[in-house]
A and B are shown apart, each in its own frame.
Chain A
Amino acid sequence: MKTLNSLLVITVIALLMSCDAKEVNLYPSFTHTAEVVVNQEGAYDEAIDIFVSEISEAIADLDTDGGILDVMIEGMFLEVTPNAASGVPENSASRTTSSIVLTDWNGGEHLLIEDLSIELTEVTQEVNLQSSLRKAGVKQFRDILFAIAQNDIPAGKEKVGVRLTGSPTPSGSYINAELKLKIKIVVEYKTDI
C-alpha cells in the first residue's frame, strides 16, 4: 500500500509539472434595457437617456480587471407591449413605422434604424432589429460604449441618448404602447488564468 501511495505522490508531482499559466481573451456580456411609453395620437418623438453610470456599473459587474480590449454589440431588440399606460385611450394603431437614432455626447445624431414597420399585436412581442440596423450607427454606438469602458468620457458628459420617432397606421390612430430597447453588449478583455 505504501508503494501505491508513493506512486500517487509521483503522479501528482508529474501533474503539477505540466501546469502552465495562460493568457486568455474572455467575452462576458450583459443586456442594457431602456424603455419609453408612447401614449399619444399620431406621430411621436420620444427620447431615452442612456446614462454612463448605468453602463459603467454593468461593466464593473463583469469583473474585467480593467483590461478591456473591445466592446461589441451582439444584438438589439425592441420589446413592444401594447396598452402599457392606464387611464388613457387604448391602443388603436395596428402598426407603427419607427426610426431609432443614437444621440452622441455632443447631440450629434446617428441613424440606427430607419422606417421599420412594426405590427402592434395585442400581446407583448420582441422585434429583432438586427436585419434593419445601420452599420455606421452601430459602430458609433460601439465607440461610445468603448469610451465608457475605458473611462474616456468627454468632460462633463453623463449620458448619451436614443430617440424613437414614428407614426401609427392607420394615420392619426392612438398609440398606447411601451417600447423597450434591449441591447446585448459583449466586452472583450484579456486575463491570466
Chain B
Amino acid sequence: MEKLKLFFAVCLSVMLLPRPAVSQDIEELLSKYTSENGEKYMQPFADAFSANLNSGLFHNAKLKKMGFQIYLGLETQMAVIPSSQKTMTATTEGDFFPKKSVDGVPTVFGPTDGLKVEDDQSGTVYAFPGGLDIGSMPMATPQLTIGSVFGTNLTFRYAGTNKLEDVGKISLFGWGVRHSVDQYLPLPVNLALGYYNQKFSVGEYIDASSSLISLQTSYSIPVVTFYGGLGYEMGSMSLSYTYEDADTNEQTSINFDLTPSNKIKLTGGFGINLGPVNFHAEYNLAKQSSISAGLGIGFGDK
C-alpha cells in the first residue's frame, strides 16, 4: 500500500489520474525497485520535474528602480521527455543468477511493456517492469511577482491541498528575488540577476527542492518583449516508501535520494503585452529541456 501511495504521489506530480481499482497492480509495478535500479527508474522524473519547476519564473528583465510593479498569472510548463530518458541500463536483482547488466530497460517514462531477460543456460527469466509511456510531463503553477524597491522585486509561487486521501498534504511553495543590473550600467537591453528557491512535497512520499540562479535580459518594442537568460540549477528529490516482501511480509523502508541532472540552462522567449494582459512563451535548453507559457495580468510590468 505504501508503494501505491508513492505511485499516487508520482502520478499527481506527472499529472496522471490514479485509479483506486489498480492498487495491487501499482504495487507490483514498483515492487522490484528497492535499490540502484529504483534510483535509475525514477531519475528522469526528478529531471523533468525540476526542469518544470525552474521554467517560467520570469518573462522580462525590466525592473523599476522605485515604483509599483505587479504581475499575477498562471505559468504552465512542459518537459518533453527525450528517448534517452525512457530507457536505462539496469542490473538483474533478487534471486536471478548470474547477475546481468541489461540495456534498454524502461524508466518510469518508458514503454509499458517490461523487458524479460532469459538465462541461456538455465532458462530462468528475470523481468524488468515497464514504465508509464509518458512523452511529456506538464505542470502548472500560479505565480505572483511584486516590486520594486531599489530595483528589486520578489516572486512567489504557491499551490497545495490541506490533505488528500492516501497521500496526505501536497504543497508547492517558491520564492525568488531579483535585482536590476542595468540600473548601474548603460546597456541597450535590460539586465537582471535572480535567485529562486522552490519546495514541493507530497505527504511523506516526495520531498523536492529546486534552486535557480539566473542572469536575465530582455528587450521590448511596442507590444512585444523578447527575453532570455542563462541559469544554473541545483536541486534534490527524495522519494520514500515502505516495501513489503510478498513472501515474508517483512517491511523495509526504501528511500531514493535523487539529484536532478540539469545544471546549465539557456532560456529564450517572447512576451505579448496587450494592456495589462501579458502572454509569454519560452524554451529552456538544458539536459532536460522544457517549454513554458504563461498568461497573466500585470501593472507596470512589461
Contacts and interface: CB of A to CB of B under 8 A. Distances in A.
B29 A74 contact: no
Contact of B29 (A26, A30, A132): A26
A86 interface: no
Interface stretch (A3-11, A46-54, A88-96, A158-166): A3-11
A72 B125 contact: yes
Contacts of A191: 22, 25
B124 A11 contact: no
A57 interface: no
A133 B95 CA distance: 14
Contact of B95 (A7, A75, A188): A75
B45 to A, nearest CB: 15
Nearest to A193: B22
A7 B142 contact: yes
Chain A: interface size category:
35 or more
B115 to A, nearest CB: 10
Contacts of A139: 123
B32 interface: yes
B101 interface: no
Given A10-B140, A18-B15, A131-B97, A27 B112 contact: no
Interface string A89-115: 000000000000000000000000000
A149 B159 CA distance: 47
B143 to A, nearest CB: 9
A172 to B, nearest CB: 33
B26 interface: yes
Given A72-B127, A73-B125, A16 B94 contact: no
Chain B: interface size category:
35 or more
B73 to A, nearest CB: 8
Contact of A15 (B15, B125, B127, B247): B15
B234 interface: no
B103 interface: no
A48 B24 CA distance: 32
Interface string B22-36: 101110110110000
Interface in A1-38: 3-4, 7-8, 10-11, 14-16, 18-20, 22-31
A119 B131 CA distance: 43
A76 interface: yes
A184 B98 CA distance: 15
A15 to B, nearest CB: 5
Contacts of A18: 15-16, 138
Contacts of B22: 191-193
B121 interface: yes
B119 A8 contact: no
Contact of A133 (B113, B114, B124, B247): B124
Contact of B127 (A30, A77, A135, A186): A186
A20 B18 CA distance: 10
A128 interface: yes
Nearest to B29: A26
A185 to B, nearest CB: 10
A20 B130 contact: no
Contacts of A3: 72
B126 interface: yes
A106 to B, nearest CB: 21
B215 to A, nearest CB: 28
A152 interface: no
19 contacts: A19-B16, A22-B16, A22-B132, A24-B25, A24-B130, A26-B25, A27-B127, A27-B129, A131-B98, A133-B123, A133-B124, A134-B123, A135-B120, A135-B123, A138-B122, A139-B123, A142-B123, A188-B114, A193-B26
